[in-house]
Chains A and B, each alone.
Chain A
Amino acid sequence: MGKSLYEKVWEAHALRTLPNGQTQLFIDVHLIHEVTSPQAFGMLRDLGLKVRYPERTFATVDHIVPTHSLAEPFEDPQADEMIRHLRKNVAEHGITFFDVTSGRQGIVHVIGPENGITQPGMTIACGDSHTSTHGAFGAIAFGIGTTQVRDVLATQTMAVSKLKVRRINVDGRLGPGVYAKDVILHIIRTLGVNGGIGYAYEYGGSVFDRFSMEERMTVCNMSIEGGARIGYVNPDQTTFDYLKGRPYAPKGEAWDRAVERWKALASDPDAHYDDVVNIRAEDIAPTVTWGINPGQGCAIDERVPDPAHYPEPQRAAIEEALAHMKLKPGQPIKGVKVDVAFLGSCTNGRISDFREAAKYLKGRKVAPGVRAIAVPGSQQVAKQCEEEGIADIFREAGFEWRGAGCSMCLAMNPDRLVGDELCASSSNRNFKGRQGSATGRTVLMSPVMVVAAAVTGRISDAREVFGAELVGA
C-alpha cells in the first residue's frame, strides 16, 4: 500500500513520540503576525528562552493594518501599539519582517506563497486558522494557538497528533460562473462545518488538476471552515511553474533537485485514505451563504430553508441563523438587498481574483447606496493591480480602492459593518459579528458574485447579470 503526501511529510518531520503519546513535529517555516504572537514572545521572555532558528520565521502585519492610510501613528492606538510591539520583537530576535514600508507587506497567507516561502513538502505553522491555505503547494500547514507559537519559536517543533486523511475528488467541468470559492462552499455545505474534525483533506480530481495555484489556495484556505485543520493538493507542474523564480524559491541546480524531491512527495497512486468523497463538478452552482456559519449555504437559485421542515436541533439552528440574517423561511436568497460589497481576504484577495472581478466590473458602476471596498491581499497584489489598470477599473466603477490587509474580513482595523448592514463578501466567515458589528450580516460568495452584487445592489446570479460574458473553468 502506498503513502499519501500527508504521511510522507509527517514521517520526514516527526522527531519522536512525546511522553503523552503525541508526536514532536519539526516545523520548516513559521509565519507570524501581530495578533497571535505578542503573548508568545512574552512567554519566551518569562521562560528565558530565545528564538531557536530565527531564519525559519517570517513576520508580517495584516490584521490591524488600516487600509486607508499608513500614516503613523495609526489612528487606533491599540493597533499602533501592536505594530510597534511586533517591530520590537522581530528586531530583538532577528526575524525577517515584511513591514508596511517593505513593499511586500500583506496578509500572511498571501505573502508566503507570492514570495516563494511556501514550498511543497514543508511543514508550516502560523497562529491563524487559515494557514491551511499553504496546503495548496503540497505543504502540511497548521493553524495554531499562541502557546504553540511559543513552542515553535523556542524549539522549531510542536506537539501534535496525527490526523486521518480524507481524499476529496472533484471531477468533471465547472459551469460558467462557477469558481474555486463555489467548490469549497459546496464541499463544506455537503460535509458540514464539523465534518473535517480529525481529518486532513486531500483535494484532487480533474478540477483540481486544471486549477491554478491561486484557485487551489482558495479551496485549501477554507478547509478549516469544514472542520479540517489541514487541506492540501499534491504538487504538480502547475505548482512548480508558479514557484519558479520567486524570491525565496530555490535557484539553479538547487531548483532542479527540489523539483525532483517535490515530485516524489505526491501521494502514491495506491495511497491509503481513511475516507474518499467524490463530487461531480456539474453539481456545483454559484454558491452563497444564507446563515451564520460557512456550511449554511445554498445555490444562488435556491431558497433559504424553512425551519418547519427540519427536526431539532437543525430547526433551532436554522431559526437562529434566519433571525440574525433577517431572512424569511423559504424565501429566495437572490434579490436580497446588499449594503456593502467587500472584495479581498486571504481567501480571495489575490491577483487572479481581482483580474477576474475586473473583467466583469469594467464599464459598470456600483449601484447607488452600496458601499463597495476592494482590499488587495498584499502590497505586491496592489502594485500589480495598478500596473495592469485593474485598480482604475475598480475606482471608476465606484469601489473604494484600499491598501493591503485583512480589513473587513474580521474588522480588526477601521473597516467594518455598521448596524445590521448586509455585506456581499469574498471572505471566509459569516459568523455573527465577524465583520465588526454584532448585528452585521455577511453573505459569502466568489469575487465575481461580489461584483454582481455590487453593481445590482442585490444578491444576484452572476450568470444572469453577466450572461454570455462568463466562461466555464
Chain B
Amino acid sequence: MPLEAIKQVSGRAVYLPGDDIDTDRITPARYLKVVTFDGLGEALFYDERFNPDGSEKPHPLNDPRFKGARIMLVGANFGCGSSREHAPQAIYRAGFRALVGESFAEIFFGNATTLSMPCVTAPKADIAALARAIEEDPNLIVTVDVERLEVRYADKAFKVNLPPTAQKALVEGRWDPIADLLEASDLIEEAHARLPRATLS
C-alpha cells in the first residue's frame, strides 16, 4: 500500500544560520534516554534555545515571528555527527516537513527521507536570498516542490537538488522502504544461506 506521496511542502519558513550543525546540537544526548520518539519536538536545539535555568536564549526557533514554520533553511553539512534518528524525529515532531540547505550529512539525510521529510540542496546565494525574504516577511509562504525540484516564494523561484532515489521515494509514496524490502523474501533466504555469519565455534 503506497504511503502519502510527498510532492510538495508549503508553509512558512525559518532560517538557522551556520555550517556543520551536528546532531548533538539538534538533540543533546541526554534526550536520547528514551524508549520512544514521543515528545522529542521539545528537545529540538534545546541547549541553543534555553539557558540552564530554562529561560530562553535568542534563537530563530524562539522568535515568535517564526512560530509554526514548516520549512527549515540551513547551511552546509547540516546533521553531521551521530546517526541518531532522534535528530530528524525532533525536527519533524516540532512541525517541520522539509529542509532546504547547502548540503546535508549522509546519515541524517537518509533518516529524514525515511520520515517523509525532504532535504533539498541549493546554492548558498539562493538560500541567503530566501532567508532575507522571510526576515522581511515572516508570513511569506514558501513551497518546496519535490516533483519539479524548485523552491518558490512570492514571485521568485530557484532550482534545488535531490538525489533521484530520494525524489522517487517521496513522490511515489515509497519513502518508508519496509514494504519493498519485505517483498524480496526468497532473495533474502538465498543470501542468508550463501553469506557467512559470525558463529561461536
Beta-carbon contacts under 8 Å, A394-450 to B: 410-412, 429, 431-434, 436, 438
Which of B25, B86, B88, B191 is close to A13, meaning CB atoms less than 8 Å apart?
B191
B135 an interface residue at 8 Å Cβ cutoff? no
User: In whole angstroms, what is the CA distance A63 to B52 when docked?
Assistant: 23
User: In whole angstroms, what is the CA distance A63 to B30 when docked?
Assistant: 11
Q: Which of A79, A194, A254 has the most CB of B within 10 A?
A: A194
Interface size, A (range): 35 or more
How far, in Å, is A295 (CB) from chain B's closest CB?
8
Pairwise interchain contact A26-B82, C-beta atoms closer than 8 A: no
The chain B residue sitting closest to A261, CB to CB, is: B196
- Give the residues in chain B near A15, CB-CB below 8 Å: 184, 187-188, 191
B28 an interface residue at 8 Å Cβ cutoff? yes
The chain B residue sitting closest to A428, CB to CB, is: B81
- Looking at A152-160, A202-210, A348-356, the stretch in contact with chain B turns out to be A152-160
User: In whole angstroms, what is the CA distance A320 to B82 when docked?
Assistant: 21
Which of A20, A117, A193 is close to B80, meaning CB atoms less than 8 Å apart?
A193
Which of B20, B37, B177, B191 is close to A39, meaning CB atoms less than 8 Å apart?
B37
B47 an interface residue at 8 Å Cβ cutoff? yes
B16 an interface residue at 8 Å Cβ cutoff? no
A212 an interface residue at 8 Å Cβ cutoff? no
- Looking at A52-60, A177-185, A333-341, A458-466, the stretch in contact with chain B turns out to be A52-60
- Looking at A232-240, A245-253, A365-373, the stretch in contact with chain B turns out to be A245-253
- Give the residues in chain A near B105, CB-CB below 8 Å: 194, 197, 227
| Contact string against A for B residues 155-187, beta-carbon threshold 8 Å, 1 for contact and 0 otherwise | 000000001111011001010111011101001
B10 an interface residue at 8 Å Cβ cutoff? no
Beta-carbon contacts under 8 Å, A325-348 to B: none
Interchain pairs with CB closer than 8 A, number: 225
The chain A residue sitting closest to B178, CB to CB, is: A151
A85 an interface residue at 8 Å Cβ cutoff? yes
User: In whole angstroms, what is the CA distance A131 to B106 when docked?
Assistant: 14
A279 an interface residue at 8 Å Cβ cutoff? no
Pairwise interchain contact B198-A52, C-beta atoms closer than 8 A: no
A76 an interface residue at 8 Å Cβ cutoff? yes
A317 an interface residue at 8 Å Cβ cutoff? yes
- Looking at A122-130, A166-174, A268-276, the stretch in contact with chain B turns out to be A122-130
Pairwise interchain contact B84-A122, C-beta atoms closer than 8 A: no
17 new A-B contacts, CB < 8 A, other than A78-B33, A161-B165, A429-B22, are: A19-B172, A24-B187, A29-B198, A35-B32, A36-B83, A39-B85, A85-B35, A121-B196, A129-B107, A144-B107, A145-B114, A146-B111, A248-B199, A248-B200, A313-B19, A432-B25, A433-B47
